[in-house]
Amino acid sequence: MPQCLNSWTDAAGAAQGKNVPTDPADPRLLGAVAIVLALLVAAIRRHRNRRMLRSLRQRGERLKMALWATGEHYWEYDVGSRVVRLLLVEPDAHGLSDVMHEREVPVEELIHPEDIAGVERAITDCIQGHTRSVVADARVLLDEGEPVWTRARGRVVRRSPQGAALRLAGTARDVSRSRQAERERRIAAQVLHSMDEAVSVVDANFNFISVNRAFTRITGYTAEETLGRSAALLDSDQHDAAFYRHMRATLQRQGQWKGEMWQRRKDGEEFLCRLVCSAVAGASPGEAQYVTVLSDVTREKRAEEELLYLANFDTLTNLPNRAMLSERLSRAIVRARRHGGRIGLLFLDLDRFKDVNDSLGHAAGDRILRAAARRLQQTLGAEHTVARLGGDEFTVVLEDLESAAQAERTAREIIMAFEAPLEIDGHQEIAISPSIGISLYPEHGQVPTELIKRADTAMYQAKAAGRRTFMRYDDAMDVATRTRATLSGALRKVLDRGELRLAYQPRMSLADSRITGVEALLRWSSDEHGEVAPADFIPLAEESGLILEIGEWVLREACLMLGRWQQHGLDPTLAVSINVSALQLQRGDFPQVVRQVLQDTGVAPGSLELELTESMLMANAGQTAARLQAFRDLGVPLAIDDFGTGYSSLAYLKRLPLSTVKIDKTFVDDVSTDPDDAAITSTIITMAHSLGLKVIAEGVETDAQVRFLASHGCDEIQGFWLAAPMDGHACLSFIRNWQPRPARAAAGAP
Ligand code: C2E
Ligand code: MG
Ligand code: MG
C-alpha cells in the first residue's frame, strides 16, 4: 500500500479497533442479547469498515488513474526532515496498466544543484505565507539517469496547532518536452528578429499578421503601422494590377511564389527585392496564412550592373572598351555579310602622348584622354561606335561604308578636328594630334581581331610617315611590322654587343665663323639589320625603357670624347650637346647621373648641353621648370630642340630655365623660298633674343639659307652646309683644320 494513502487507511484502522460497551440487566438474557447485539454491531461495523475500505481503495485507484492519465506524480515534502516522498505512477511494460512506486529522497539529492536554490525559495515563500502555493521548475535527478525538467505545484497540507507548516504536498510533471519546444520557439523568434531578410506573415486576405525587425528596417513601416493592413501597402507602380493578381493566384494554387519584384518603401522610394512567399502548412483554406521572406537586392543589382559596365566600358572615358568593341564589331560583320556591306575600322593613337603623360603627370594625361574621347565623339556623332582600347588608343567602327575613300575622309576629318587644341580643366590647352590606321571589311579581315590588328599595323605606318596623318592597310605593312618586332628584339642586346656609337655634327657661330660645339648623334650598326636610323630605333628604345641605359651611355661617351679632344688641345669653350628623352628627364635621379658623369670625365658643366624636345616641355610649366632647374643649378645649359614642331609658345619657354633654341629644319628648309617660313623663322629669332636665348638653326644646307639666317641675326648654324655628322676622329680633325669657307663670305656676316 503506498505510503501516501496511509492517512486514509490509518483512519479506517483506528475505527475498526474500537469496542462498544454492553448492558448487564439479565445476566443470561442480557448475555445472549449482548452477544447478539455485539455480533450485530460487529457485523454492522465490519460492513461499514468494508465499505470504507472499498471506498478508500476506490479513491486511491482514482487518484492513481488521475495521476497516470495526466502524467503527473504525487509528492510530499516534510518541512522538518527536508525529505521528499514521491509517488511515481508509470506505465507497465506493456503500456496498458500502471505501476506505482514510492521513493523518499532528501530534497538536496533530488534536485539538480543549480536549481536547488530556486526550489527552496519557492518552498520558503509558501511556508511563510508569501505565496499560496509552490510553483517551481527544476531538474530532478532520479535513478542515475539524465536530469529531467520537472514542474512541481503544491501547497501546505499539514500544520502544527500553532499554525507552522509541517508538510507540503502536490503534483509534479515532466516538462522537458514543452521546455524544449518553448526554447525552440524562443530561438525561432530570435532568429526571425535578427534576420537580415524582412519576414512578414499575412492572413488569407493578405492582411499583415506579424512582421519582423528587418521588415521595418527595409520598408520603413513599423509593426504597428502594418498589422491588420493589406500587403498592398508595399505595391509599386512598376507592376500593374494583373501582376499582383497573378502572384496571389499562384500562391493560392501552388502554395508558393518566388521571384524578383519592385516594392515601395514608406518614404515612397522603390526598391527591388527578391521574394519567397509560402503558404503556412496545415491551415484550412479559410484560415490560410502566408509567410513572406523578402531581401532588398537593389544594391546587389546595381553592383551587378556596375560589373557589367566595368566589363564593357572604359571607366575613364565612358567609351566602350575592347570587349564591347569586339562584340559590336562582330555584330556589324554579321550584318555586313548578310547585306554585302562594308565596314571601315579606324585605329587611332595620339601622337607623343607618352611624352605628354610623362611630363605633365598621369592626372593631366587622364584629362587629355577624356577630352580626346569627347572630341572624337563630337566629330563622329552617335551613330558610330567609338571605343577606347587602352592607353591612348581609340577605334572607330564605320558601318555601311560606301567606299574606302569614305573611311579616309572620316580619318581626315578626325585629324582636322584635332587641329584645335584640347581644353582640359577649362583653362589649360593642349595640342595633340592623332595618327590613324584604317582597315576594311571584307578586304582586310573577316573577324574583329584581324581587322583590329591590321588597322593597328596601318596606324604604325602613319606614325612612321611623320604622325598626324592616316594610312590605309596594305599587305606590305605586315612586313614593316615584323621588322619592327625583330628590331626591338635586337635592340635589347645592343649595349652588350657594343653596336652603338656616336657621330658628331659641328655647329658654327655666324658672327665669327668659329666652331662653337658639336651635337652627339646616336648611331646603331646592327649585325642583323645594318645601319638603323635613330628615328627608327629611338622610339622603340623609349617604349621599352632601354633608352635610360642607352641615354646614360651616350652621355658618358660624349663627355669622354670631349675630354679626349680637350687633352688634344682643343678649345676648352667648345661644347658637346646630347639629346635627352622624356623618360630620362622623368627619372628623378637624372641630374645626379649627369653630375656623376661630369665628375668622372672631368668635363666642365658649361661644356655639356642637353637638348630637350618641345613635346617634353609642354605645359605644366611648374613641374618641368623645377626639374630643369636642377640642371641649371649644376651649371649645365639646356636647349630646346626641333623648335616650331610642337605647340609651345616662346612666352611659355620664358618660364623655363633654357639658354638655347634650335629652330627645326622644316622651317629652315624653306626660309629662302617660302615667305611664311621666312617670317616665322625671323620672328623666332627676334623673340628668342628678346628672351635672352641663343638661336641655332638646324639642317642648314644652302648658301641662301646661311645668308638669310645671318642677315636675321641667327647666332649659330648646324647642318650639311657646314658638315654632316661624322665619327669622333673625323670630327676632331675637322675642327682642327677648320677654315672659314669662301661661301661664308658670300653669306656675309651680320
Ligand atoms: P635632332 O636632335 O634634331 O638631330 C638632328 C638631326 O638632323 C640628325 O638626324 C642629323 O643627322 C640631321 N641633320 C643634321 N643636319 C642636317 C641637314 O643639313 N640636312 C638633313 N637632312 N639632316 C640633317 P639623326 O642623326 O638621324 O637623328 C635624328 C633624331 O634622333 C635627332 O634629331 C634626335 O632627336 C634623335 N637622337 C639622335 N641621337 C639621340 C640620342 O643620343 N638620344 C636621343 N634621345 N635622341 C637622339
Ligand atoms: Mg638634337
Ligand atoms: Mg633637332
Q: What is the full DSSP assignment across 496-551?
A: HHT-EEEEEEEEEETTT--EEEEEEEEEEEETTTEEE-HHHHHHHHHHHTTHHHHH
pLDDT of residue 647: 59
- Cα separation, 588 vs 638, in Å, equals 17
Is the CB of residue 538 below 6 angstroms from any atom belonging to ligand 1? yes
Q: Which atom of ligand 1 is nearest to the CA of 554?
A: 41
pLDDT in tens, 391-419: 999 999 999 999 999 999 999 999 999 98
Residue 620: exposure state from Cβ atoms within 10 A (0-12, 13-18, ≥19): middle
Do 494 and 529 form a contact (C-beta atoms < 8 A)? no
Q: Does the structure show a pLDDT above 60 at 625?
A: yes
Picking from 649, 656, 746, the residue whose alpha carbon sits closest to that of residue 704 is 746
Do 697 and 672 form a contact (C-beta atoms < 8 A)? no
172: left (phi over 0), alpha (psi -120 to 50) or beta: beta
Picking from 246, 219, 231, the residue whose alpha carbon sits closest to that of residue 291 is 231
Please tell me whether residue 610 adopts helix, strand or coil conformation. Answer: strand
Q: Which atom of ligand 1 is nearest to the CA of 724?
A: 15
- Spell 477-495 as b/e; 16+ CB within 10 A means b: beeeeeebeebeebbeebe
Peptide bond into 750 cis (omega under 30): no
Please tell me whether residue 208 adopts helix, strand or coil conformation. Answer: strand
Q: How far is the CA of 49 from the centre of ligand 1 (A)?
A: 142
Reported confidence tier of residue 15, pLDDT bands at 50, 70, 90: very low
Cα angle 313, 317, 323 (rounded to 5 degrees) comes to 25
What number of other Cβ atoms are within 10 A of residue 699's Cβ? 19
Reported confidence tier of residue 285, pLDDT bands at 50, 70, 90: low
Look at the block and give the residue holding cell 525552440: 184
Taking CA atoms, 120 is separated from 9, 132, 141, 318, 667, in Å, by 31, 15, 16, 77, 113
Do 700 and 719 form a contact (C-beta atoms < 8 A)? yes
Q: Whose C-alpha lies nearest to ligand 1, atom 11? A: 725
Q: How far is the CA of 568 from the centre of ligand 2 (A)?
A: 26
Range of 118-132, 138-152, 286-300 with top mean pLDDT = 118-132
Q: Whose C-alpha lies nearest to ligand 1, atom 3? A: 642
Q: Whose C-alpha lies nearest to ligand 1, atom 20? A: 699
Is the CB of residue 96 below 6 angstroms from any atom belonging to ligand 1? no
The count of C-alpha atoms lying within 13 angstroms of the C-alpha of 110, restricted to the half-sphere facing its C-beta, is 20
Residue 566: exposure state from Cβ atoms within 10 A (0-12, 13-18, ≥19): middle
Alpha helices (runs of H) in 388-492, residue ranges in sequence order:
404-417, 448-464, 476-491
Rounded average pLDDT over 282-299? 82
The residues, any chain, with a CB within 8 Å of residue 192's CB and separated by 6 or more, are: 199, 212
Q: Which is higher by pLDDT, 109 or 615?
A: 109
What number of other Cβ atoms are within 10 A of residue 617's Cβ? 27
Is the CB of residue 235 below 6 angstroms from any atom belonging to ligand 1? no
Picking from 689, 691, 699, the residue whose alpha carbon sits closest to that of residue 750 is 689
Beta bridge partners of residue 256, listed in sequence order:
278
Do 452 and 464 form a contact (C-beta atoms < 8 A)? no
pTM of the model: 0.49
| Radius of gyration, CA atoms only, the chain | 54
pLDDT of residue 192: 80
Reported confidence tier of residue 9, pLDDT bands at 50, 70, 90: very low
Do 515 and 573 form a contact (C-beta atoms < 8 A)? no
The ligand minimizing its distance to the Cα of 580 is 1
Q: Whose C-alpha lies nearest to ligand 1, atom 13? A: 699
Instruction: State which amino acid sits at residue 252.
Output: Q
C-alpha cell at position 364: 593631366
pLDDT of residue 282: 65
pLDDT of residue 494: 85
Q: Which atom of ligand 1 is nearest to the CA of 613?
A: 34
Reported confidence tier of residue 651, pLDDT bands at 50, 70, 90: low
Q: How far is the CA of 660 from the centre of ligand 2 (A)?
A: 12
Q: Does the structure show a pLDDT above 50 at 234?
A: yes
Residue 605 per-residue DSSP state:
G
Q: Does the structure show a pLDDT above 90 at 25?
A: no
Do 172 and 67 form a contact (C-beta atoms < 8 A)? no
The ligand minimizing its distance to the Cα of 557 is 1
Please tell me whether residue 379 adopts helix, strand or coil conformation. Answer: helix
Neighbours of ion ligand 3 (CB under 5 A): 641-642, 698
What number of other Cβ atoms are within 10 A of residue 399's Cβ? 19
491, 518, 521, 590: residue to mutate for ligand 1 pocket, most atoms within 8 A of CB: 521
Q: Does the structure show a pLDDT above 60 at 515?
A: yes
The ligand minimizing its distance to the Cα of 723 is 1
Do 328 and 397 form a contact (C-beta atoms < 8 A)? yes
Taking CA atoms, 582 is separated from 391, 426, 541, 618, in Å, by 17, 26, 12, 11
The count of C-alpha atoms lying within 13 angstroms of the C-alpha of 246, restricted to the half-sphere facing its C-beta, is 8
- Least-confidence region, from 126-140, 254-268, 454-468: 454-468
Do 332 and 383 form a contact (C-beta atoms < 8 A)? no
pLDDT of residue 406: 94
- Least-confidence region, from 166-180, 232-246, 348-362, 697-711: 348-362
Look at the block and give the residue holding cell 502566408: 290
499, 524, 540, 579: residue to mutate for ligand 1 pocket, most atoms within 8 A of CB: 579
Q: How far is the CA of 45 from the centre of ligand 3 (A)?
A: 147
Is the CB of residue 533 below 6 angstroms from any atom belonging to ligand 1? yes
Q: How far is the CA of 360 from the centre of ligand 2 (A)?
A: 22
Q: What is the full DSSP assignment across 553-587?
A: HHHHHHHHHHHHHHHTT--TT-EEEEE--HHHHHS
Q: Whose C-alpha lies nearest to ligand 1, atom 41? A: 522
Is the CB of residue 581 below 6 angstroms from any atom belonging to ligand 1? yes
Q: Does the structure show a pLDDT above 50 at 4?
A: no
**Pairing verdict, β 608-613 and 575-579:** parallel
C-alpha cell at position 238: 512598376
Picking from 370, 471, 377, the residue whose alpha carbon sits closest to that of residue 430 is 370
The ligand minimizing its distance to the Cα of 520 is 1
Residue 35: exposure state from Cβ atoms within 10 A (0-12, 13-18, ≥19): exposed
Of the chain, the percentage scoring pLDDT greater than 70 comes to: 92
Q: Work out the mean pLDDT of the chain and round it to a whole number.
A: 87
C-alpha cell at position 483: 621588322
Q: Does the structure show a pLDDT above 70 at 681?
A: yes
Do 251 and 259 form a contact (C-beta atoms < 8 A)? no
Picking from 669, 609, 675, the residue whose alpha carbon sits closest to that of residue 644 is 669
pLDDT of residue 492: 78
Q: Does the structure show a pLDDT above 60 at 667?
A: yes
C-alpha cell at position 301: 543589382
Q: Does the structure show a pLDDT above 90 at 464?
A: no
Is the CB of residue 725 below 6 angstroms from any atom belonging to ligand 1? yes
Q: How far is the CA of 521 from the centre of ligand 1 (A)?
A: 6
Look at the block and give the residue holding cell 521595418: 216
Q: Does the structure show a pLDDT above 70 at 76?
A: yes
Is the CB of residue 137 below 6 angstroms from any atom belonging to ligand 1? no
Q: Which atom of ligand 1 is nearest to the CA of 541?
A: 44
Question: In angstroms, how far is CA 667 from the centroid of its own chain?
Answer: 52
Beta bridge partners of residue 345, listed in sequence order:
397, 439
Is the CB of residue 526 below 6 angstroms from any atom belonging to ligand 1? no
Q: Which is higher by pLDDT, 100 or 711?
A: 711
Reported confidence tier of residue 20, pLDDT bands at 50, 70, 90: very low
- Cα separation, 175 vs 50, in Å, equals 40
391: left (phi over 0), alpha (psi -120 to 50) or beta: left
Do 60 and 12 form a contact (C-beta atoms < 8 A)? no
Residue 398 per-residue DSSP state:
E
Q: Does the structure show a pLDDT above 70 at 744?
A: no
